[in-house]
Amino acid sequence: MALSVSPAEFFSALLATGTANVAREELVGATADRVLRRAFDEALEDFSGSVDGVEWRPQAADEALRYVYRLCQALVDRAMTDEQVTALCAALPAVGDSPGELLAVDLALRHLPELHRMAKSMSSGDPLVSGLEAAARRYPLSGIGIALEEPLPDVAALKRHPGLWRLFIDRVIERQDVSRLADPAVRIAVADALGEHALKLAPKLAAQLALTHPS
């Protein structure tokens, strides 16, 4: 573990490589507003459709970043007790359902599936695994790639904004998250997006779609 890590250092490394140093202490120093805002603006540049109503929410982005940092601490610090890990995972950052908040928290929370993969590879019974699955239900855009059983995440807030909905569906396809097809609205949107190219673009999803609607 590093001796100390700043929010900007942590997020910049996470953004660049998908990995970052953590320390046993909390993040030290000022917020990572500048680098988070730059990442937010870059995300908007890649946005499909209108960005109306997608306003920058620095507090939401900062709280999500600190939450991901604490999850990384739990992943690497095996001296933590199960009770400590459970409490850490339960301290989910508050987030509203505005488009700006949903995209702002996703800057850091999009790394949840990779954290889940690493935690599960070490021990499927680790409370960090179940904690990350709970987080995936709370943040449906960011948790794609973590296979979930019902109840599935509520995607109503994403559906209200065409750009976020498109991002969500594209991510389901990219990560071939078959579990999300249990939601009828997601299944229909994925089938429409894939069209005749389903088998080539997303064979796992195509197989599940064929089982759901056999010819």
The ranges assigned to domains in the chain are 7-153
The residues, ordered by sequence, that sit 6+ positions from 206 with a Cβ below 8 Å of its Cβ are 194, 198, 199
Q: What is the pTM of this model?
A: 0.91
State how far the Cα of 162 lies from the Cα of 42, in Å rounded to an integer.
18
The residues, ordered by sequence, that sit 6+ positions from 13 with a Cβ below 8 Å of its Cβ are 19, 20, 21
78-101 residue pLDDT tens = 789 999 999 999 999 887 889 999
13-54 residue pLDDT tens = 998 888 888 888 888 777 889 999 999 999 999 888 788 889
